Structure 1
């Protein structure tokens, strides 16, 4: 009789035991039958947009469950890495010419091109009293050291060169320029005091000012070519649902509000 009772208990427990075993063996990323696995994409991001990109990646991850990894450098350096086979799925550039060039070279998907932001340059100094009349300071001040991103690598650096040419200071300031490999490094030169002032992305200066204050002036947009920032799906990510989904999310109202809140038009 005792054997019969034990036998009946085992028969009743068997389905539950099998279910538990199945759950333990279920691959990571599957919560239940029919749930797709978590997708992952690697996004190459221009340095000026790095913090915003991380915020957007977090927002998108919470919404989709997909994972976004961010790699940051100047647009020029990212372009070179993509040309040499770096496994990026999406490029968020600081210009619109680099994504177009990648499309023309067969390394990106033409239909995915999207202008996600328009950048603005500001004159910024840690000295709260320096930039009281921005145009006058830019035209006349005898800067010790002046920071911009390398114009050969960074679109914001190219725009800064155009601004200095516009006010007639490019040649005079050549010996005093400190060139950042990207705008993040150029901003750090001013933040650390190694440069007295610089022409930098408004988005990065907003963050730096929260740390140290200082004085700033928004450069007129018509003093340089528009800094139109484009995104593109790279061929490496053309079949990646996380990459495709992230690009679609850039057009979402929540994402657009986040971008605007960080200093972009």
Structure 2
């Protein structure tokens, strides 16, 4: 083999290795952080790709993607933002699907609120109520729907503290800066279903379903890693992990 040909093959091999080694950039709604970390752990055991995760509010990610942020996959906390991105031509055709259906809970770490959470909310017998920003976070929008359903918006609004996303809302309650807070069930449950504090699972009829969609962004191009990870989310293993963290899965199942 002549030197030029050998050098060309070596260069191609090196380029391929570098391309494969580049992590897949994934934007993930804050409520899905725990299950996503578990999903990535299992995925990287079986596949020769690495996943780089960024967590935050779906609204912020939407704005960043519009501005050219280098994400390849976007796991939103709603359906609306992925749908708009698709309409705007920023999504690979037919890549969008619902990966999870969220459950909303009202949470407290106060022991004297145990078994009284719903009553404390309805009687306004609390100091501060934490909710995620409804303009940025779908769980915040669902929280407002619950308060509206219970006719509590006017009577409780002065007590609200707003988090930029559901993770910040969690911190308000965890730190004691709010007596109560609307958070995602997944933030409280791990695979062993143990949780700190106490929660009331909000009935589904009090808010619209929190269907969460994922999309493959066009900037991912032909990223085989991104496509493989998206395929993995459809597997029984991935769906089982998602259900273990308190989500309903698209087929209606839950652990």
Quick one: structure 1 residues 28 and 111, their matched pair in 2 at CA, closer, same or farther if it must change by over 3 Å?
closer
Q: Structure 2: where are the runs of 5+ without partners?
A: 1-9, 249-255
2:134 is the alignment partner of 1:151? yes
TM-superposed CA distance for 1:39, in Å, is 5.2
TM-superposed CA distance for 1:131, in Å, is 4.0
- Which residue of structure 1 lines up, in the alignment, with residue 241 of structure 2? 258
Query: Take 1:230 and 1:171, find their aligned partners in 2: how far apart are those partners?
Result: 32
2:213 is the alignment partner of 1:239? no
For residues 105-141 of structure 1, give each alpha carbon's deviation from its aligned partner in whole angstroms, at most 9, with x where no partner exists: 0111231111000000111110133141443222113
- Match 2:27 to one of 44, 61, 74: 44
- Which residue of structure 1 lines up, in the alignment, with residue 125 of structure 2? 142
2:201 is the alignment partner of 1:218? yes
2:180 is the alignment partner of 1:175? no
For normalisation by structure 2, the TM-score amounts to 0.86
Query: Take 2:93 and 2:118, find their aligned partners in 1: how far apart are those partners?
Result: 40
8 Å Cα contact 2:120/2:126 also seen in 1: no
Query: Take 2:93 and 2:202, find their aligned partners in 1: how far apart are those partners?
Result: 32
8 Å Cα contact 2:106/2:182 also seen in 1: yes
Written as runs of structure 1 = structure 2, the 5 A alignment for 1:67-216 is: 67-206=50-189, 210=194, 213-216=196-199
Query: Take 1:163 and 1:238, find their aligned partners in 2: how far apart are those partners?
Result: 40
- Which residue of structure 2 lines up, in the alignment, with residue 64 of structure 1? 47
- Which residue of structure 1 lines up, in the alignment, with residue 251 of structure 2? none
For normalisation by structure 1, the TM-score amounts to 0.83
- Which residue of structure 2 lines up, in the alignment, with residue 12 of structure 1? none
Q: Please identify, of 186-195 and 136-145, the stretch whose mean Cα deviation from structure 2 is larger.
A: 136-145
8 Å Cα contact 2:124/2:156 also seen in 1: no
Query: Take 2:189 and 2:245, find their aligned partners in 1: how far apart are those partners?
Result: 7
- CA RMSD, aligned part only? 2.1
For residues 85-114 of structure 1, give each alpha carbon's deviation from its aligned partner in whole angstroms, at most 9, with x where no partner exists: 001000000001111110000111231111
Query: Take 1:112 and 1:28, find their aligned partners in 2: how far apart are those partners?
Result: 27
Quick one: structure 1 residues 253 and 140, their matched pair in 2 at CA, closer, same or farther if it must change by over 3 Å?
same
Query: Take 2:220 and 2:177, find their aligned partners in 1: how far apart are those partners?
Result: 40
Query: Take 1:238 and 1:137, find their aligned partners in 2: how far apart are those partners?
Result: 51
Q: Which structure 1 residue ranges, 4+ long, deviate > 3 Å from structure 2?
A: 26-30, 36-39
Q: Structure 1: where are the runs of 5+ without partners?
A: 1-22, 31-35
Query: Highest Rg: 1 or 2?
Result: 1
